[in-house]
């Protein structure tokens, strides 16, 4: 069974519409797909198909979200998997996080203004499908106005860690994020633990804070990774008694290392999060 529990649509920084993403997942033989847009569940309003219609093509769609928060000065992401879209809590989370995104976008824009880039807010806003606005939109705007040539350069020079467009320590706190997910009957999963570039000791500390705050799972597999990375993450997952998740973190076609459903299998030793759906 291929379960891809991490993906993005055009309602955050993904390229495909929800329908196109679902079609691609079916094409790639994915059995279970979670859409986990950054800080929004808007994609699910857009999907006109019923779960039964999607099931007919062999796919189970799982409602999800990827919430941004911070642990000390480290920006981290928490997935809410199998959240109840009818719950008040998930909409409260999306509303408050969106307000934070909007405020942050204004601060990013004024930081860029100091670097001689005017009106980045308007430029970036025009590139958003829904209400979502994030660093990738600013990066794309910088490409569009010829400041940089690639997304990579945009992050390296303007939007990445420590650069003008990196505005930190602004999101709802970790316990609040986890509470919102749990109040929506979802499973709170620490996203892509290897991306934070923490030493193993600090990663264990992060997991302890995450568990103290009510976190239930971690991504043992996130996109392409080495067998060594997978077994290290699986070992941590077991040690900390967490549920295991896996996903591509798909954003767009044309990136073979982040394709829907294409990542190593979860080791047999861990308990998959979908057993609790």
**Other CB atoms within 10 A of residue 63 CB:** 22
For residue 235, what are the contacts with CB-CB under 8 A and spacing of at least 6? Answer: none
Q: Is there binding between residue 68 and ligand AMP (CB under 6 A)?
A: yes
Over the window 27 to 46, marking each residue x when it contacts ligand AMP by CB under 6 A and - when it does not, the resulting string is -----------x--------
Compare residues 77 and 182 and give the one whose CB is closer to Mn ion: 77
- Please identify, using beta-carbon distances, which residue of 108 and 184 lies nearer to ligand AMP: 108
Contact 174, 78 (CB under 8 A): yes
Spatial strand order in the sheet of 217-222: 3-4, 32-35, 60-71, 74-81, 187-190, 217-222, 243-247
Backbone φ/ψ region at 111: left (φ over 0), alpha (ψ -120 to 50), beta: alpha
In a 13 Å sphere around the CA of 94, the CA atoms on its Cβ side amount to: 26
In our burial notation (b when 16+ CB lie closer than 10 A, e otherwise), range 94-112 reads bebbbeebeebbeebbebb
Least separation in angstroms between CB 189 and Mn ion: 11
Binding-site partner at residue 151 among Mn ion, ligand AMP, none, CB < 5 to 8 Å by type? ligand AMP
249 binds Mn ion (CB under 5 A): yes
Residue of 123, 134, 165, 186 interacting with ligand AMP (CB under 6 A): 134
Size of the site for ligand AMP (CB under 6 A): 11
Which of these segments, 19-27, 197-205, 244-252, 267-275, binds Mn ion (CB under 5 A)? Answer: 244-252
Asked if residues 227 and 199 have their Cβ atoms less than 8 Å apart, the reply is no
Binding mask 246-265 for ligand AMP (x = CB under 6 A): -----x--------------
Instruction: Report helix, strand or coil for 155.
Output: helix
| 163 lies in the binding site for ligand AMP (CB under 6 A) | no
The residue (of 195 and 205) whose beta carbon lies closer to Mn ion is 195
Q: Is 37 in the site for Mn ion (CB under 5 A)?
A: no
Q: Is 160 one of the binding residues for ligand AMP (CB under 6 A)?
A: yes
- 28 binding partner (options Mn ion, ligand AMP, none; Cβ < 5 to 8 Å by kind): none
x/- mask, Mn ion, residues 181-220, rule CB under 5 A, reads ----------x-----------------------------
Binding residues among 6-25 for ligand AMP as defined by CB under 6 A:
13
Specify the 3-state DSSP secondary structure of 42: coil
Alpha helices in 155-221 (DSSP H): 174-183, 200-212
With CB under 5 A as the contact rule, which of the stretches 12-20, 82-90, 117-125, 145-153 interacts with Mn ion?
Answer: 12-20
Using CB under 5 A as the binding rule, whether residue 13 contacts Mn ion is answered as yes
Q: In whole angstroms, how large is the CA radius of gyration of the chain?
A: 18
For residue 10, CA distances in Å to 13, 60, 63, 249 come to 6, 20, 16, 13
Residues that bind ligand AMP (CB under 6 A): 13, 38, 68, 134-136, 151-152, 155, 160, 251
Residues that bind Mn ion (CB under 5 A): 13, 66, 77, 191, 249
């Amino acid at each position: 069974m291929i379960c891809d529990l991490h993906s993005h649509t055009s309602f955050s920084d993904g390229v495909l519409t929800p329908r196109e993403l679902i079609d691609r997942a079916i094409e790639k033989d994915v059995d279970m797909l979670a859409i986990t847009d950054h800080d929004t569940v808007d994609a699910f309003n857009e999907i006109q198909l019923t779960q039964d219609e999607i099931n007919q093509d062999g796919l189970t769609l799982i409602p999800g979200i990827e919430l941004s928060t911070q642990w000390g000065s480290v920006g981290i992401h928490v997935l809410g998997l199998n959240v109840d879209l009818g719950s008040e809590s998930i909409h409260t989370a999306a509303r408050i996080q969106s307000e934070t995104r909007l405020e942050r976008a204004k601060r990013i824009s004024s930081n860029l203004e100091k670097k001689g880039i005017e009106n980045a807010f308007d430029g970036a806003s025009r590139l958003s499908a829904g209400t979502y606005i994030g660093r990738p939109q600013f990066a794309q705007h910088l490409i569009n106005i010829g400041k940089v040539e690639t997304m990579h350069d945009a992050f390296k020079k303007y939007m990445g860690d420590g650069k003008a467009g990196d505005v930190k320590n602004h999101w709802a706190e970790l316990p609040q994020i986890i509470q919102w997910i749990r109040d929506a009957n979802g499973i709170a999963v620490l996203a892509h633990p290897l991306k934070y570039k923490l030493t193993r000791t600090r990663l264990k500390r992060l997991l302890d804070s995450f568990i103290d705050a009510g976190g239930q799972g971690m991504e043992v597999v996130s996109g392409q990774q080495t067998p060594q990375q997978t077994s290290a993450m699986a070992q941590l997952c077991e040690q900390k008694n967490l549920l295991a998740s896996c996903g591509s973190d798909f954003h767009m076609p044309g990136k073979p290392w982040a394709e829907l459903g294409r990542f190593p299998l979860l080791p047999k030793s861990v308990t998959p999060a979908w057993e609790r759906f």
